[in-house]
Chains A and B, each alone.
Chain A
Amino acid sequence: MIEILSASALATVQDLGRVGALQWGVGTSGAMDPLALAAGNVLLGNDDGAAAIEVPVFPFQVRFSEDLAFALTGADCAARLDDTPLMPWWVAQARAGQVLTLGLPQGTGWRASRAYLCVAGGVDVPAVLGSRSTQLRGDFGGHEGRALRQGDVLRAAAPGNGRHASGFGLLPPALALPLVLDGVPAMRVLPAAEYAHYTEASRAAFWAGEWKITAQSDRYGYRLAGTALEAADVVEMRSHGIVPGVIQVPPGGQPIVQMRDAQPSGGYPKLGTVIEADLWRLGQAPIGSRVRFIETDWDAAVAALEQTHAWLADARRLADLYRRQRERTRA
């Protein structure tokens, strides 16, 4: 079991998201960086979609009340287990009583904003409608349907998992699958239904400009600031289904990218969608930083998703191989 020691709010239990509940008005939730969550699980030998703690506010501290293997992925937070520094994207073994501290995210060039604390077997909270992700609107899923608080105690589903295979890690996908344009983190965008309604100048500005992630950005959506986008004609939309990644443009012309806690339907015009393969990049972009968008098409978007899946499959193959070798050495 682990106990949350920090008072910092907004940490939540997440898995890869709740699918199949849109018919009841329930959005997906899930990790803002699904690749980091899956990679942490791969390091532990868990299923890709085992639940973990998503940490967006630092410092963050937990105490282990049992011996437990864990993995840290996502933001590099200069983590320490008691006084021992830990590598990012690494598996480690905690002993009962030890305290894990995540400091401020660091990194030159690419600095991520969310860390994932994965534990052996995953965080053991009940699956609700097929997922352990926290659904804040409606107060269900995750740990009691809410963000974690100081004093909360979470169980690992299989504390025996990964016990003999700590002390190895992965090269983060930000390094293995980089996407940077003119020195700025970039995401590929597939144009959406109302793209053609924007003026040519606005469309050009969208691709050419840097977009600042404003302080009004969270798990629900990223409000961006940049050159205001102008529609050539006003479109009155009927409410329709949307997915995380959809870039809506309210009347003010400053786009909002829908993120994991976004409602599953909307009525604002849609300029495009950050493709599934790149949404983790945006999910990791810190408030105040700038991002760029790259126009893509269906074929390239599908290929990018396959590349992401291949990276994860490769990571699993290597992690499994390493674990087997370690077990043999011990036997």
Chain B
Amino acid sequence: MTPTHPVAMPPTITPLGTSALLFEAPGREMALGTQQRMWALAREAGGWPEVREAVPGMNNLMLSLVRPPRVLRDIEARLRAAWAAAEPLPLEGRVVELPVVYGGAGGPHLADVVAHTGLSVDEIVERHSTPLYPVYALGSHPGYCYLGGMDPRIATPRRKVPVLSIPAGAVSIGGAQTGVSASAGPSGWNTIGSTVMRFFDPAQDPPALLQPGDALRFRVEKVIR
């Protein structure tokens, strides 16, 4: 469970204009137990008539609204009550294994992670490829997964100057998080390796390969030093 006392500490609810509400669990950490309660809240609130979509973030939830209610009090009270009652929803989906080539041309910032952490390439690769990473949420771009579970010893700050485009399949570290780009685009994260996987296909139903509760594992295919 969460290290905080979620019922005692109130969550915050703030508007994002009139088209969405943001519900945030107290605290700043990213705990799996809290996330499991957020999944439960998303399932509940996603069924309310004024809610178009209930979208989990990292220990938070955005409700996009069909139309803005006249007053916020009612939906805010329902959210608080549903959160207080929410039990962790232990989603356990499938595990997808991704072969990763660490370093080399596909991992241009591995050296920056070495420099920041003081660990060797092998130590970083081992720590990165050991955990099973639960998918907490989807966001950022089509098919992209926010993952929990990275070893904090390889945490590396986001880059001061974002890279204009990193390719699909880029495996990267940003702060205490790691992830895999689903398509080419700008990124402030440190790219340490590359993999090949189609995370998103608009012709499929559902279009995203993974959903919250699924998990990723990185298998070391090769290390280029």
List the interface of chain A (C-beta within 8 A of B): 19-27, 128-129, 135, 137-141, 190, 192-193, 236, 238-243, 245-246, 263-265, 270, 273-277, 298, 301-302, 305
Cβ-defined partner of A190 (8 Å) among B18, B62, B138, B200: B18
Asked whether B208 lies within 8 Å of A24 as measured between CB atoms, the reply is: yes
Q: A25 touching B142 by the CB < 8 A rule?
A: yes
Question: CB-CB < 8 A to B68: which residues of A?
Answer: 298, 301-302, 305
Cβ of A24: which chain B residues have Cβ within 8 Å of it? 138, 142-143, 200, 206-208
Closest-by-CB residue of B relative to A140 is: B202
Task: Write the nearest CB–CB distance from B148 to chain A, whole angstroms.
Answer: 11
Residue in A closest to B201 when the chains form the complex, CB atoms: A140
Is the C-beta of B194 less than 8 angstroms from some C-beta in chain A? no
In the bound complex, how far is the Cα of B18 from the Cα of A302, in angstroms? 7
Q: How far is the CB of B140 from chain A (nearest CB, A)?
A: 5
| B17 touching A241, Cβ below 8 Å | no
Residues of B within 8 A of A141 (CB): 202
Which residues of chain A come closer than 8 Å to B225, judged between CB atoms? none
Taking CB atoms, residues of chain A closer than 8 Å to B62 are 22, 240-243
- A242 CA / B57 CA spacing, docked (Å): 10
Stretch of B8-16, B77-85, B95-103, B126-134 lying at the A interface: B8-16
A238 CB contact (under 8 Å) in B59, B140, B144, B207: B59
Contact with A along B60-75 (1 / 0, CB 8 A): 1110100010111000
- By the criterion CB–CB under 8 Å, are B17 and A275 in contact? yes
Could you tell me if A135 and B60 are in contact, using CB atoms closer than 8 angstroms?
Answer: no
The answer to whether A243 touches B55, judged by C-beta atoms less than 8 angstroms apart, is: no
- Let me know if B45 is at the binding interface, CB within 8 A: no
**Min CB distance, B111 to chain A, in Å?**
24
Can you show 16 pairs from A to B with CB atoms below 8 A apart?
Answer: A22-B139, A25-B144, A137-B183, A139-B183, A238-B59, A239-B137, A240-B24, A240-B57, A241-B20, A242-B16, A243-B64, A245-B19, A265-B137, A276-B18, A301-B17, A302-B68
Q: Does B141 count as interface, using CB distance less than 8 angstroms?
A: yes
- Give chain B residues whose Cβ lies under 8 Å from the Cβ of A19: 52-53, 64
**A26-B142, A128-B202, A138-B183 known, 20 other contacts, Cβ within 8 Å:** A19-B52, A22-B62, A24-B138, A24-B200, A24-B207, A25-B141, A25-B142, A25-B144, A25-B200, A25-B208, A27-B141, A135-B142, A140-B142, A193-B12, A239-B146, A240-B58, A241-B57, A241-B60, A242-B62, A246-B17
B17 pairs with A276, CB closer than 8 A: yes
Q: How far is the CA of A241 from the CA of B138 in the complex (A)?
A: 10
A305 to B59, CA, bound (A): 30
Which of A140, A238, A243, A246 interacts with B58 by CB under 8 Å? A238
Contact B70 A302, beta carbon cutoff 8 Å: yes
Q: In the complex, what residues of A have CB within 8 A of residue B182's CB?
A: 25, 138
B155 at the interface (CB under 8 A from A): no
B139 touches A263 (CB 8 A): yes
A190 with B19: CB separation less than 8 A: no
Which positions 155-180 of chain B face chain A at CB distance < 8 Å? Answer: 177
Decide yes or no whether B30 CB sits under 8 A from chain A: yes
**A22 cross-chain contacts in B, Cβ below 8 A:** 53, 55, 62, 64, 139
Chain A hits for B220, CB < 8 A: none
B15 close to A273 (CB less than 8 A): yes
Task: Give the most central of B18, B185, B208: most A CB within 10 Å.
Answer: B18
In the assembled complex, the Cα of A245 lies from the Cα of B64 at a distance in Å of: 14
A265 and B139 within 8 A (CB):
yes
Residue B114 at the A interface, CB < 8 A? Answer: no
Tell whether B22 is near chain A: CB-to-CB under 8 Å: yes
Is B18's CB under 8 angstroms from A298's CB?
yes
- B18 near A239 (CB under 8 angstroms)? no
Quick check: B17 and A273 within 8 Å, CB to CB? yes
Give the distance in Å from the alpha carbon of A190 to the alpha carbon of B18 in the complex.
8
Contact A23 B138 (CB under 8 A): yes
Q: How far is the CB of B90 from chain A (nearest CB, A)?
A: 19
